Amino acid sequence: MDWRRAKSVLILAFLMLNVLLGYQLWTEWRAQVSTSVDWTSLPAETRQIMQEKKIRIDAQIPAETPSMKDLSFKLKEQPAKGDKARIPIAKPPESRIVFNTQELSDALGGTIPEIGKYAYDDPGSREGVFVLNRIVDGFPMFDIHLELYNSEQRIQSYRQDIVQTLASDVSQEQRVLPASQAVAVVINNYLPANSVIKDIRLGYHGQIFPDAETQVSAPSWRVLLENGEVYYVHAISAEVTTGKGETPPAPETK
């Protein structure tokens, strides 16, 4: 065996692998640049506050600014809460299917109504619970969930909010605020020191009134923190509320 030739072939293969990996990293970087706004899009005042208060953003800042309007809908069933609201699954499938839309539909489509209208929300999920949001026109309804309870690497039960969207001419479509502007409002006015933003996402948010015949959700940017706290920024007016529907208090200053 010609070891010198074999060594040359191995070196060449190694170099080609490096080139391939480098190209893959470059294409991924290009994809990120094309779908996100650089942090320099944040106002100088906001960047200074981030530096002073050691606030970090571990998420892409979306570049999308579509035209949206309020979403009207009604609850098909009253929202159920607590352990009694969980519906057992007769043949629990493997938990991994939640990451594949088709596998999830194939496994649970005959058990869970309208499962194809929900999408997995990884940042919004928690230990033992996969959270999926109802999707309308490609955007999540942050308050309407399908929760899949998992243990022993299998989905054991679920809880679901089911809604019917309604046509409405009350509001007109308007272009939403840029994500960078929404994030700046939250950082400038509400975030305490050492906060970490882990997800920024556009969708619909509005307080649910169980006794009301019609519900309304507004286009909103969800700013989700690493500690689980969430801020919703109205994507038209820039009004900020928390996950509890309250106006957040300003952080204490020393």
> Could you say which of 98, 130, 161 is where a domain stops?
161
Q: Does residue 13 sit within a domain? A: no
Q: Is residue 56 part of a domain?
A: yes
pTM over 0.75: yes
- pLDDT tens per residue, range 70-116: 999 999 887 777 667 899 999 999 999 999 999 999 999 999 999 99
Residues 108 and 115: beta-carbon distance below 8 Å: yes
The answer to the question of residue 187 being in a domain is yes
Residue 129 has pLDDT above 90, yes or no: yes
* 200 and 86 part of one domain: no
Q: How far is CA 154 from CA 64, 113, 145, in A?
A: 36, 19, 19
Question: Does residue 252 lie within any of the structural domains?
Answer: no
Domain-embedded: residue 25: no
Q: 167 Cβ partners below 8 Å, 6+ apart? A: 72
Express each pLDDT in 218-239 by its tens digit: 999 999 999 999 999 999 999 9
Q: What is the percent of the chain with per-residue pLDDT over 90, rounded to a whole number? A: 70
The domain of 148 spans: 77-161
Distance CA 88, CA 149 (A): 9
On whether residue 209 sits in a domain, the answer given is: yes
How many residues are there in the chain?
A: 254
How far apart CA 157 and CA 95 sit, in angstroms, is: 11
Any bridge partners for residue 222, and if so which? 201, 232
Where is pLDDT greater, at 39 or 130? Answer: 130
* CATH number of the domain encompassing residue 201: 2.40.128.690
pLDDT at 28 > cutoff 90: no
Is the pLDDT at 35 greater than 90? The verdict is no
In the structure encoding, which two tokens stand for residue 43, read together? 């106002």
Same domain, residue pair 95 and 144: yes
> How many Å apart are CA 157 and CA 176, to the nearest integer?
37
Same domain, 41 and 98: no
Task: Extract the tokens encoding 12.
Answer: 């060449």
Contact in structure between 194 and 54 (CB atoms under 8 Å): yes
154-179 per-position pLDDT tens digit = 999 999 999 999 987 778 999 999 99
Specify whether 155 is located in the same domain as 188.
no
Domain count, the chain: 2
Tell me if 103 is assigned to some domain: yes
Residue 10 pLDDT > 50: yes
